Structure 1
Amino acid sequence: MTIQEKQQEIIDEFEFLDDWEQKYEYIIDLGKELKGLPEEKKSEENLIKGCQSKVWLDAEFRDGKLFFNADSDGILPKGIVSLLVRIYSGHTTKEILDSDFDFISKIGLQEFLSPSRANGLMAMTKQIKFYAVAFQLKS
């Protein structure tokens, strides 16, 4: 599946939810499905700066693709980062860098988040792009 197809799949999933309470619950459920990170990966190096909660994002480059895993000490941020992991994990650095984050506005996520959580979301997306740039330079 392409990044755009994964984004559309999430947009379609959110269209079936009637209100933000249901969307909120869905995001929390997604976070519960995230396998999380072992303690040694919850390092300062993997900590995303700018998030209200602690959010860690780890990236591994293998077979020409980036694979992400993440964790958070907050239930909502864990669900949000799980969406990003689902979309961007398993793609090449070029695919990630050529993609956008339009799905966030299409599901209305930024409108729902407090300003500090919206800043955290932007920090998560920037970190994914940062990893793509860093690993592109290595390959």
Structure 2
Amino acid sequence: MSREPLELPATTRAFLAHPHTGILTTLRPDGTPHVTPVRFTFDAVTGLARVTTRARARKARNVASGGAAARVALCQADGFRWVTLEGRAVATDDPAHLAEAVHRYTVRYRAPPPAPPDLVVVEIAVDRVLSLNL
């Protein structure tokens, strides 16, 4: 997925580099929100956020059922500072995409993610960034 680099202030990039937990919001098929804590990575150069999960997890199924129009929001907060990354999402089990996601997760959190047999990566092509107090 080749994209233009996101123009983010240095303070926002630095905040997103901290290994906090985020909150991922997806939409269920009936349109209601599903909100769940996740560990994630974000590449400001490509504008791609990644969340590893199980294929049968509600968040992955929500993304898959949304097709090309699946939009999600991923928020990282620390006290009164927060950043929300919004964009279109896809869930894939492509080995190259999974390897990249696992590598980035391991670097960020200093341990590999869980590795269930149905591991997928939700890739979010970030097109909107909202923040406060950064």
TM-score by length of 1: 0.31
Higher share of residues assigned helix: 1
TM-score by length of 2: 0.31
